[in-house]
Structure 1
Amino acid sequence: MERLDEALGRSSKSSIWPIAVDDPPRKLILSSPVLQVANANTVKDRFLFVFSDILVIAKPVIPDPNWDMSKPSVYERKFIVKSVASLRDLKFCADRDDSRARTSLNSGHMRHQVIRAFVHQFAKDPDMAITTLFDKSSMRVDPVALGQLLFRAVELDRTRLGEYLARRTSKVVLKAYLDCFGFRSMRIDKGLRAFLLSISIPPKASLEHLMDAFASRWYEANSDLVVYDREVAIRLVRSIVQLNEVMHGGISQNPGFTSYPKRNVIGRDFIDAFHRADPRCYAVPGEFLDKVYAAIRRERLSQARSTQGGGSTDLMISIKRPIPSRLTYRIQSEPIILRIPQPDEHLTIQLYGEGLHIDPPFLTFAKSAEASFRLMATTLGPKSVVMWRSGPHALLYSGLPLSSPVTVERAFMRNTFQVAFKNHEGQKRKYMFSVDDSVKHRSLIDTLRQQIELTSQPPQRSSIDMSSPSSLKLRRAVEATAFRVLQDALISSEDSPHVGQFPSAIDHAYATLTGSASPYGNGHLSASPSNLHRRSKSRSQVYHRHGAGKLEPDLTESDREDGFLRRDASLSQRPEEQLWTTNGLEMVCRQNSSLPHVLAYLHVEGSNGTMI
């Protein structure tokens, strides 16, 4: 106290005291409303305060159900502080794909080389190529993983692929390969065309075996949408192939125009013959069979060209702007652009995706070598965009992905970033936040990234002498004490019940100085169920009233039942919770940063390195 009195009486011109007190080093850099993503269906209203060295996560107390947290209001904003994290110890991920992208950069070249070698060897000896690939991966041969790999590797020799899939021993691989197409809600003859264009069926292979496998997988994908059974689906596929053979002489491997049918089978004959085959076949409507008949008459079934006889090189279809891996529910995607070497009026690319509105549903290249389409999702969850070629020149082209996976998410999954840190109880926490506006999202992540980089750098000037190990230990203890004091001051008692359970800032400082086990570690505290992290059950009160959330009224019926849109009692102040205004919160955080400088100025370390 004597030193404090002495310091207060000193001249401001000769000390850092007024600087530390009047202009604390901690600055508020940015504050922004965000949504905390709890799971795929739940978000919470949160507010982030990014200071120069800490991040404060707060819950806004909404005074009115129609209050817009993102805009200025007549109400003064008030908050309940949930977490205070040091930027120095914060783990930050600006995008959900960041870690995956870093892994891809490190291993992408090697993986590309392995796949290239696999594709090259598969054209010579499929069995040896598969064995070598799995040996290099130190894995047992997995038929499901193999089927998925064969589906994605569009550079594979289609003749060798047809030979391998047609084997009876490749039944599981064929099943996995077919499941990758995403046949749900796709008309059966269109799915058949997509499958046939992906392989070249060898003359000695059992066409019936391949067609039955396709029919079974198509039925599994659509069993809840049709009224007939698997056997009827198999009979239907066989009838389609037989109709094509009668009218066009078989499944074509050569490009060219579909000629006039060799036998003029009329639609009524095809429908009657199919229904007479089995009484159960009457479950397939005549109107549907008439559409299938018209499609086969208009364009024959085709398979990939055989590579055994040589011939001209395929023309490549390139994807100038690819299909996004994620779509936002009821938000149209950016244009997806496909390009061919030059305009071709005899090529059409058909597009399909269950639960997706595709505009347009097919692409033509009569006037331009480029064509584009957009996607808009009408349902949530994983989807597949299936693309197949049609037209007289369809077999001249290759390089088109057979199917592209897409995940449809709610609007709050856009513009996300993640942070991870140890909370005030010493427990690891990871949070995902979302920002509705892309510009604000960019500003927020840029600010966070910049401040994290600045806090990771060694300070240019230190008010505490760093000449001895004891001084360094003192500095760390002082900083840890000040930070813990701030957490104790800001975080409500609901989240930090210190009475008889959690250590004080003094305990934490003492542990830091003595090097003893942290009072927030794996001691007796974590063993008590009462010390487990208590998660707030509050849900966003503004998401469905502003921004992209307004486009999701059909997704909120169950949420209304759970109180998603009702005013939640958890958003009002509880007796044990302390409310903070924006100004009050900023003032406390800034003044707290003066503590290390004040203690340093008071010379709390003696000449022998001991605390005074």
Structure 2
Amino acid sequence: MDDPPRKLLLSSPVLQVANTNTVKDRFLFLFNDILVIAKPIMQDQDSLLDTTKRSPLNRKFIIKSVVQLRNLRFNADRDDSQKKSLSSSTVREHPVIRSFVLQFSREPDQAIAAFLEKMNSRDDPAMLGQMLLKTLELDRAKLGEYLSRRTSKFVLKAYIDGFGFAGMRIDKALRVFLQSLHIPSPSRSSHSSPLDYMIDAFASRWYEANASIVAYDKDLAIRLTRALVQLNEVLHGGIVQDAGPATHLRRNVTSRDFIDAFRRYDARCLVSDEILDKMHTSIRREPLSQARNPATATTPSYSITLKRPVPPRLTYRMQSEPIILRLGQADPTLVIHLHGQDLIFDPPFLTFTRSAEASFRITGTSLGPKTLNFSRSGQNALLYSGLPLSCPVLVERSFMRNTFQLAFANHTGAKRRYMFSVDDPVIRHNWTVSLKRQIEVASAVPVAGLNRFHQATDDVAFRVLQDALILGDVEWEKNGRPVPGSSLPGSGYELVNRSTSRLSFRNCVNGSSSAHVRSKSRSAIYHRQGLGKLEQQELDALLASTEEDREVPIEPMTRLWSGKDLEMVCQQNSVIPLALASLRIGVAANGTSHS
């Protein structure tokens, strides 16, 4: 038939994402009514990278799945667990949160009790600490008062942990923490200082986040934090609580004086002179500051808005799109500093001398979850609010950028859910648009709308196609063993015996594997092109694990199809229902004439 009902609309190589560290080479063939998922076999690995041809004759495939589009579930978006968590934007817009903010400014305990009741939630310190961290509109003085209570110690722990202080120098982390709240002054009836309690709690949590990268223990971390606060007290008279120009130093404490004084607690020099000198210089230049108390503030506050927000995901060693911050007007005194472990910021700090807008880009230098923090400096720094206190960012491998998901029941009836990735966003757009459109077309005519004969012929033809492409008939010897290299005449495939083959993953990646030998679990081309090349060092570390992990057994009998023959067989199969319908009409006509 010159114009078969089934037509090939789109085909291209893709990566199947097995998990955040592993991908498999796949090839998708989209027809107007079915989708074929194939595994490419490459004698020449460079052939798969050539996307200029729809079905090159030199490509061979193992068919993994064939699914009717009407039974395919498509999702263009990622399942994002971060969307389910509390973000600054969702917190700000939620009516329950707005009510909570208003009530918290009057009575924090009642506000928290009412919030938990409305949310039908139990008393969860971790959740509450995160919610307090994300709710930027809270009264900072009431927040400091609540967290400085001994009864709130578990909430305070979760609040501090939410900043993600891993890898941040302790004096910089202290600035970020202090600018997030207003610590109350000690009462006459109390024998302890809220500031001392909060500083010790901060130091303990900072140490827990950095225990693997510092040479000292928690006690010394607490002493170091106290020393920084005492240095600030001597130099500037205390923690700054309101905006204003910098004052003259009260005493001239040199770096050497500070280092010598601290050595009484650190005789083994676990905190280096270099680090102590940098901390001294930082505090001498800019005093520690905390959020203003709204009840005593005499000047209005100004808002900083994120015109373009921080992305929840970054691609490993790929610079992000610009993140844009905007003020009401230019302010030459304000500087916003950017902090984050294994994150490179360009530029490392933002100024607003000539413009009310400033932007920066982020590059992640290691994989996994990271946290971006902001701190403000300058005489007007405390007048500004609105910046998120912490921004979680996930640094992912490049194959997680342009993805889409498919779900279906395979030929055995087992439910499958796959994520596929492509390198080019244009290719992803083509796939998402085509899949969505063709699924809608295929689903427009419900199966129940077909007569029983047409439904039966469609089902039979599709089952025949699945059996031919995936299962198929194999020649068997008399002893019941399959014949190596056997094939059916004109079938367009070859059968390869690899029952004793084992594949070294390292050889596969280096391109030295023999013909048809392919890893079942990892891509052979991902680390040979694009951003995947940048991850080769981490891949080598993964390969060096165990021999069992490096060698993957190959399926014993595998049928190989060329792209051209696959297209031909699928098109020929689509004629079966028409042929059966013609036979039925002919039989019916003959029966009528005989009668």
- TM bucket by the smaller chain? 0.7 to 0.9
Q: Does 1:237 align with 2:217?
A: no
Question: Any idea what the Cα deviations from partners look like across 1:237-294, whole Å, max 9, x if unmatched?
Answer: 1111111111111111111122221112222111111112x25573211221111111
How far apart, CA to CA, are the structure 2 residues paired with 1:565 and 1:542? 19
2:227 maps to a residue whose letter is S
Is 1:452 aligned to residue 439 of structure 2?
yes
- Aligned AA for 1:334? E
How many aligned residue pairs are there?
536
Letter in 2 for 1:576: M
Query: In the alignment, is the contact (CA less than 8 A) between 1:358 and 1:376 conserved in 2?
Result: yes
1:439 equivalent among 418, 426, 437: 426
User: Which residue pairs with 1:576 in the alignment?
Assistant: 557
**Does 2:16 match 1:36?**
yes
CA distance in 1, matches of 2:183, 2:51: 63
Shift of 1:101: 7.2
Match of 1:356 among 318, 338, 343: 343
Deviations 1:504-559 (A, max 9, x none): xxxxxxxxxxxxxxxxxxxxxxxxxxxxxxx9724211111122212222222134
Q: Which residue, 338, 362, 365 being the options, matches 2:325?
A: 338
Aligned to 1:167: 149
Match of 2:194 in 1: 206
Distance 1:67 1:541, change over 3 A: farther
CA positional deviation for 1:458: 2.0
Alpha-carbon distance in 2 for matches of 1:424, 1:257: 74
- Write the letter of the residue equivalent to 1:132: A
**Distance in structure 2 (CA, Å) of the matches to 1:494 and 1:537:** 23
Cα–Cα, structure 1 residues 193 and 433, in superposed 2: closer, same or farther, change >3 Å? same
Q: Report the Cα offset of residue 71 of structure 1.
A: 3.7
CA distance change for structure 1 residues 579 and 405 in 2, over 3 Å: closer, same or farther?
A: same
What CA deviation, in whole Å up to 9, does each residue of 1:379-414 have, x standing for no partner?
000000111111111001000011100001111111
Aligned-pair CA distance for 1:133: 1.3
1:598 aligns with 2:579: yes
Given that 1:60 and 1:80 are in contact with CA atoms closer than 8 Å, whether structure 2 keeps it comes out as yes
Q: Distance in 2 between matches of 1:99 and 1:223?
A: 28
Change (3 A) 1:57 1:324: same
Q: 2:405 matched to 1:424? A: no
Q: Distance in 2 between matches of 1:224 and 1:103?
A: 28
Given the superposition, is the C-alpha separation of residues 166 and 98 from structure 1 closer, same or farther in structure 2, using an over 3 Å criterion?
Answer: closer
Please say which of residues 321-330 and 585-594 is displaced more in the overlay.
585-594
Distance verdict in 2 for CA 1:308–1:237, change over 3 Å: same
Code of the residue aligned with 2:438 in structure 1: it is: Q
Tell me how far apart the structure 2 counterparts of residues 606 and 177 of structure 1 sit (CA, whole Å).
79
C-alpha contact (below 8 Å) 2:367/2:395 kept by paired residues: yes
Partner Cα separation in structure 2 for residue 92 and residue 100 of structure 1: 21
Taking the aligned partners of 1:397 and 1:45, their CA distance within structure 2 comes to 50
Provide closer, same or farther for how the CA distance between residues 601 and 421 of structure 1 changes in structure 2, counting only shifts above 3 A. Answer: same
Aligned match of 1:222? 210
The one of 546, 558, 569 equivalent to 2:541 is: 558
2:470 maps to 491
Structure 1 unmatched runs, 5+: 1-20, 501-534, 608-612
Match of 1:255 among 243, 259, 268: 243
Residue 347, structure 1, aligned to residue 334, structure 2: yes
Distance of 1:263 and 1:165 partners within structure 2: 32
Residue among 68, 74, 83 paired with 1:86? 68
Deviation string 1:478-524 (CA, Å, 9 cap, x unpaired) is: 222111111001114699x9xx9xxxxxxxxxxxxxxxxxxxxxxxx
Partner of 2:369 in structure 1?
Answer: 382
Structure 1 residues 282 and 110: CA distance shift in structure 2, 3 A: closer
TM-score under structure 1 length normalisation: 0.82
Q: Give the partner amino acid of 2:390.
A: S
SS at structure 2 position matched to 1:354: coil
Q: What is the Cα deviation at residue 96 of structure 1?
A: 0.2
**1:286 matched to 2:264:** no
Counterpart CA distance in 2 for 1:569 and 1:542 is 19
Unaligned runs of 5+ in 2: 187-192, 481-517, 590-595
Q: RMSD of aligned C-alpha atoms?
A: 3.0
Is the CA contact (8 Å cut-off) linking 2:305 and 2:326 kept in structure 1? yes
Once the two structures are superposed, what CA deviation does each residue of 1:406-444 show, in whole Å capped at 9, x if it has no partner?
001111111011100000000000111000111111111
Percent identity between matched residues is 56
For residues 329-386 of structure 1, the C-alpha deviation after alignment (integer angstroms, 9 at most, x for no partner) is 0111111111111111100000011011111111000011111111111100000011
Q: Does 1:131 align with 2:119?
A: no
In 2, Cα distance between the equivalents of 1:359 and 1:593?
Answer: 56
TM-aligned CA deviation for residue 120 of structure 1: 1.3
Q: Structure 1 residues 398, 212: CA separation in 2 closer, same or farther (over 3 Å shift)? A: same
- TM-score under structure 2 length normalisation: 0.84
Q: CA deviation at 1:597?
A: 2.4
Q: 1:69 aligns with which of 49, 56, 69?
A: 49
| Match of residue 56, structure 1, among 36, 59, 65 | 36
Contact 1:61–1:78 under 8 Å retained in 2: yes
Shift in alpha-carbon separation, 1:254–1:148, aligned structure 2, 3 A: same
Is the partner of 1:195 in helix, strand or coil?
helix
Native 8 Å contact 1:162 1:199 kept in 2 = yes
Offset from partner CA, 1:540-585 (integer Å, 9 cap, x none): 1111112221222222213444799999884xxx773221111211
Q: Choose 109-118 or 183-192, whichever is displaced more.
A: 109-118
CA distance in 1, matches of 2:83, 2:231: 49
Aligned-partner Cα distance in 2 for 1:492–1:280: 74
C-alpha distance 493-485 of structure 1, shift in aligned 2 (>3 A): closer
- Displaced runs of 4+ in structure 1, greater than 6 A? 98-104, 107-111, 562-569, 604-607
Whether contact under 8 Å (1:232, 1:280) holds in the other structure is no
Query: 2:522 is aligned with what amino acid?
Result: R
Native 8 Å contact 2:38 2:65 kept in 1: yes
Deviations 1:203-224 (A, max 9, x none): 2361100000000011111111
Task: Report if aligned partners of 2:12, 2:29 keep a CA contact under 8 Å in 1.
Answer: yes
Judge which range, 230-239 or 115-124, deviates more.
115-124
Superposed, which structure 2 residues align to 1:288-327 within 5 Å? 288-327=275-314
Is the CA contact (8 Å cut-off) linking 1:436 and 1:548 kept in structure 2?
A: no
| Partner of residue 541 from structure 1, selected from 514, 524, 528 | 524
CA offsets per residue over residues 122-175 of structure 1, 9 Å max, x none? Answer: 111111111111112212110010000000111111111011110000000000
| Residues 539 and 568, structure 1, Cα contact 8 Å, conserved in 2 | no
* Corresponding residue of 2:234: 246
Verify the 8 A CA contact 2:91 2:97 in the aligned structure 1. Answer: no
